[in-house]
């Protein structure tokens, strides 16, 4: 099983909320339990086995669908 880590801003409530949505979607749809870690201010990044799959750019946060697609593509064994 792949090691999925989500790094998030430790102080931003909107990023914290989006990470909870992403985490729930990964658990429900892909049966993956990502580890959530504090990152840099303003950060929302997703890593699979240490490789960055999604990194926040600008003001837009990645959607759960974007994260699921990136994780699914990184781990081909996931249906």
User: What is residue 4's three-state secondary structure?
Assistant: strand
Domain 4-74 belongs in CATH node 3.40.30.10: yes
Q: In what order do the strands lie in the sheet with 51-55?
A: 35-38, 4-8, 44-48, 51-55
pLDDT tens-digit series, residues 17-74 = 999 999 999 999 999 999 999 999 999 999 999 999 999 878 889 999 999 999 998 8
Q: What is the value of pTM for the model shown? A: 0.90
Residues 6 or more apart from 48 whose CB is under 8 A from it? 2, 3, 4, 70, 71, 74, 75
Phi (first) and psi of residue 45, to 5 degrees: -130, 150
């Amino acid at each position: 099983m792949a090691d999925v880590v989500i790094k998030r801003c430790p102080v931003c409530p909107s990023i914290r909320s989006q990470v909870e949505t992403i985490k729930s979607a990964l658990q429900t749809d892909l049966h993956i339990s990502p580890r959530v870690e504090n990152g840099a201010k303003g950060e929302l990044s997703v890593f699979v086995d240490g490789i960055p799959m999604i990194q926040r750019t600008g003001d837009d946060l990645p959607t759960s669908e974007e994260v699921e697609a990136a994780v699914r593509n990184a781990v081909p064994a996931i249906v």
